[in-house]
Structure 1
Amino acid sequence: MYSSGMFFVYLFSSALAFALINRVLRHRLTYLSALSVLAALGWGYIFQGDYRVPAVVFFSFYLVATLKEKGWLKTWQAIVLTLLPLFLVKLHLNHHLGMIGLSFMTFRAVDVLLYRSKKEGQNFLHYFCYLFMPFIILAGPMYRWRTWMSDVSKPVFALNREQFLVALEQIITGIVQKFLFAMLVDSLVVQPWSHKPFTLTVGVVMSLAYSAYLYFDFAGYSNMAIGAGRLFGLNIPANFNMPLLAKNPQDFWRRFHISLSEWLRDVVFMPVYMNLMKFTFFRQNKTLAQNIGIFCTLFCMGAWNGLERHYVISGALFGAISVAHNMLLWSAKRSPALQRGLQYPAVAFLGRILTLGSAAGSLYIFSGMSPL
């Protein structure tokens, strides 16, 4: 979508048209009505007239949310039913439900089930716009329901010069990242080296190159999505925060794909950990409960893309590396000598190198271009 020049024509013309119409109407164009028109236009642009599958998926999600709201479904039952189309597609059991943006649309539908309050009630337009907002429909960032409701609580649609310039700057940054840096890394390193027989040198080069490519490509996409959202007053969350500065695996996931990491923390780690803590054994072994929660969370970070071998292995590596770091912290609390040793600058620097190296290796496996 962001690779099409026409998309940007639609984007900027829509933002300016809404701003001008609102000024002519003297701020009588409500914010929700503006976003509803935008979502409808996005629906038409993205699905190009083939509305059957997105309509079926949307109304299925809406029906499940309604049944849960009325108390006819428990939350866990509603979540399972909402995740079902995604599971069927990822497991290659049903290709008819496959559509652009199914993964993140499903995640947003789950977020509604978990975080929509009874006070907010059921508003069809709120739900439709949230699920089909075109800027984030393909691959995020993970825009949370509570943030959405905070954004759409504004009484009118407004776009001033300062907001426009900030949004434009972020979109241009994203274009440079995705269509200059990512394409250069891909064409100069990733594509030529991906055809070479695997050796240690090839593994190292591909790990570094693919990680750089993925960062620039995804950060570029995210910045364009965030900038596009700002044109319409939406606070779409940041997805990256200089992951090269990560001190350890935990810090890395606070900087890389931040929005999905935080969402998985809330919907995977916390439920797993809190349910384990109901058992006496885990209350006496909290670190073990933490490790299980950490592993499940980061395993999902890789495996939600599909159950192909490279996704499963990379997800397991994400989890295992973070569990190993958590165990190191646990050991350091019980060993003053180890605690002091970890504070040496050389050791801290080595930790940064190991963090980035392990992340790069895991992402190389994730790419599907490694022998694993």
Structure 2
Amino acid sequence: MSFVSIGFLVLLFVTVFVYYEIPHQYQWACLLVASYVFYFFSGPVYAIFLIASTVVTYSSGLLIGRVNSGTGNPKYKKLIVALSLLFNIGILVAFKYADFLRKTYSHLLALFGFSVATEAVHLILPVGISFYTFQSLSYTIDVYRGDVEPEAHLGKYALFVSFFPTLISGPIQKSKDFLKKIDEDHPFDYIGVKKGVLRMLWGYFEKMVVADRLAILVNTVYENPAKYHGLESVLASLFYTFQIYSDFSGYSNIAIGAAEMMGFHLAENFNCPYFAKSIQEFWRRWHISLSTWFRDYLYFPLGGSRCSKFRRCLNVLIVFTVCGFWHGVSLTFLFWGLLHGIY
């Protein structure tokens, strides 16, 4: 189910109506049902993996929490977190990167004179898997570090993983912020709902009026580059920068607005990134929830900047290489990530 579909708007407004008509203690259940309805319409088969990720990380959180509280065996703590991370990363790699790994394997063998016939892997990427996987990973790591207490309520944790406004394209939520919001009282707030609707309208303008219209011009040139030269190609590239920003920012604004209608105030995901004066500042303004995730869960664990200059540079390159592959499965995105890391 797409944000730019009538089905999504019907689901959203029915959910908002029911949400404010029922007692506070059942509001989480309303949102959980709506989130799974949203996901089943997007791809019912792949809901299995969403449920599996939820159950595995919920269970691992409880087990790690027992160790942290002194009632579990400490020697199993690292094993539990490792298995949880491997399970979630394994699902993501299997669906998103399997065919790329197959092609890379074949090309490497060809370099040494070996020819191996491998069948193409045709897997449809489950909706939102890149986002809910990262949320699940961050929860497991936060519990392991002792930054958050494990969530005892399976339903509320499932809502954190599957919250439908953020499921498709973020912003990526942190468990310590979102789980608290679930327990807060959310009475009907006309001003909040109005702000949410206006934010969504701005998002739809960015997506449908700006991004989708620019896409027509960009695709015309990019699909037949030999036909266009000079100024036309330059303009297409310039338009593409605004297209990709408006598309992504539009989705984020729709998500933030939809959540606002239900009393959830999500963090901003974009802050005028094209006004940045450096690549470093750009990444503090572009897809903020993702860059923050990589900083907290990859860059800092690698040592961050508290190490030698060589190691610090290596850490940055590793982070941006992974970031590139997260955005897309091709060597183009690999070099895109490395280029940003070098800058």
TM class, shorter-chain normalised? 0.7 to 0.9
Contact 1:176 1:220 in 2 (8 A): yes
- 1:143-158, aligned counterparts within 5 Å? 143-154=173-184, 156-158=185-187
Is 1:17 matched with 2:18? yes
Q: Distance in 2 between matches of 1:132 and 1:95?
A: 25
Amino acid at match of 1:176: F
Coordinate RMSD, CA, aligned? 2.6
CA 1:157 to 1:42, structure 2 compared with 1: closer, same or farther past 3 Å? Answer: farther
**Partner in structure 2 of residue 266 of structure 1:** 296
CA 1:233 to 1:69, structure 2 compared with 1: closer, same or farther past 3 Å? Answer: same
Q: Distance in 1 between matches of 2:27 and 2:52?
A: 27
Stretches of structure 1 lacking an aligned partner (at least 5 in a row): 322-372
Partner deviation per Cα, 1:321-364 (whole Å, 9 max, x = no partner): 1xxxxxxxxxxxxxxxxxxxxxxxxxxxxxxxxxxxxxxxxxxx
Q: Percent identity?
A: 22
3-state secondary structure, aligned to 1:142: coil
Is 1:91 matched with 2:97? yes
Instruction: Tell me by how many angstroms 1:319 deviates.
Output: 0.9
Instruction: Tell me by how many angstroms 1:130 deviates.
Output: 0.9
Is 1:172 matched with 2:178? no
**Partner in structure 1 of residue 220 of structure 2:** 192
Q: Distance in 2 between matches of 1:98 and 1:146?
A: 28
Q: Distance in 1 between matches of 2:251 and 2:140?
A: 27
Q: Distance in 1 between matches of 2:256 and 2:25?
A: 23
Is 1:212 matched with 2:242? yes
Q: Distance in 2 between matches of 1:65 and 1:120?
A: 5
**Partner in structure 1 of residue 265 of structure 2:** 235
Amino acid at match of 1:319: G
- 1:74-89, aligned counterparts within 5 Å? 74=78, 75-89=81-95
Instruction: Tell me by how many angstroms 1:298 deviates.
Output: 2.0
Contact 1:29 1:157 in 2 (8 A): no
Is 1:160 matched with 2:182? no
Candidates 31, 50, 55, aligned match of 1:54: 50
**Partner in structure 2 of residue 295 of structure 1:** 317
Partner deviation per Cα, 1:92-142 (whole Å, 9 max, x = no partner): 167668411111111010011122456444320122101111111112111
CA 1:78 to 1:17, structure 2 compared with 1: closer, same or farther past 3 Å? Answer: closer
3-state secondary structure, aligned to 2:191: helix
Task: Calculate the TM-score normalised by the size of structure 1.
Answer: 0.74
Amino acid at match of 1:90: K
Partner deviation per Cα, 1:47-69 (whole Å, 9 max, x = no partner): 35764443344434444444544
Is 1:142 matched with 2:159? no
Q: Distance in 1 between matches of 2:130 and 2:264?
A: 21
Instruction: Tell me by how many angstroms 1:233 deviates.
Output: 1.5
Instruction: Tell me by how many angstroms 1:14 deviates.
Output: 1.5
Q: Distance in 1 between matches of 2:338 and 2:128?
A: 24
Instruction: Out of 171-180 and 189-198, give the one that drifted further.
Output: 189-198
Instruction: Tell me by how many angstroms 1:15 deviates.
Output: 0.5
Q: Distance in 1 between matches of 2:149 and 2:164?
A: 27
Instruction: Out of 189-198 and 157-166, give the one that drifted further.
Output: 189-198
Q: Distance in 1 between matches of 2:142 and 2:63?
A: 15
Candidates 101, 114, 120, aligned match of 2:128: 101
Candidates 194, 203, 211, aligned match of 1:182: 211
CA 1:50 to 1:298, structure 2 compared with 1: closer, same or farther past 3 Å? Answer: closer
